[in-house]
Copies of this chain bind each other. A is one copy, B any other.
């Protein structure tokens, strides 16, 4: 089901531009192939923006951190804005004015809540780990009770979401196409390199999760 502008709470009823999309699939796709999210919240009347690992389960995004981290310690429901951005290329135009960036971004609004239920928390921790390295949870040793307790998990239910996408060539002014100025796209890709071990692995095999991460996050324009 596509969200329409009127489905959104007032704070999210933003200017609908030609690049804005509200359908769930577009938003989910952008979230699901992102490495980190930039999470914004208000602390002492000031905005804070911090990069965090995350995972989406249905309409909820989970983030986690040490219990000592400020965002975890706040320990109350606060409004947050979580943004995931992929840069796909630099848009090189014939005038400075028409330069742009090809990107896909998802901006999510909701309330952050502390996840206190152990079942939900465990599922979130598994998913945050597996988001970056698909299947990794089952490749490593089991989480201890102490580790479980030392980790805080917050949930952000998606109340409102906007995806923005710019793709394609530059759009120049008609008369500028006559100029002897090169215009086009300089692609920007995420490249997953060759894994290297920490030199204490003996004969441990390269895990399958690394190949799945490569498949998930690598982009080639």
**Residues of A that sit less than 8 Å from B by CB:** 10-11, 14-15, 35-36, 38-51, 53, 68, 70, 79-83, 85, 87, 89-90, 92-97, 99, 101, 103, 105, 107, 109, 125-126, 129, 132-133, 136-137, 139-141, 143-144, 147, 150-151, 169-170, 176-177, 179-207, 209-210, 213-214, 217, 220-221
Docked pose: A220 CA to B209 CA in angstroms: 21
Question: Which residues of the other chain, B, contact A151 by a CB distance below 8 angstroms?
Answer: 97
Would you call A36 and B85 a contact (CB within 8 A)?
yes
28 inter-chain pairs at a CB distance below 8 angstroms, sorted by A residue, are A10-B44, A11-B43, A15-B70, A35-B101, A36-B87, A38-B38, A38-B85, A40-B48, A47-B47, A47-B79, A48-B81, A92-B207, A92-B209, A93-B140, A96-B125, A101-B132, A139-B182, A141-B176, A181-B207, A182-B204, A183-B197, A184-B196, A186-B214, A187-B194, A188-B191, A189-B193, A191-B191, A193-B221
Question: Which residues of the other chain, B, contact A200 by a CB distance below 8 angstroms?
Answer: 177, 183
Would you call B190 and A139 a contact (CB within 8 A)?
no
Cβ of A133 to closest chain B Cβ, rounded Å? 6
Q: Which 8 A-B pairs have the closest CB atoms?
A: A187-B193, A184-B197, A40-B49, A38-B38, A40-B47, A169-B198, A191-B191, A40-B40
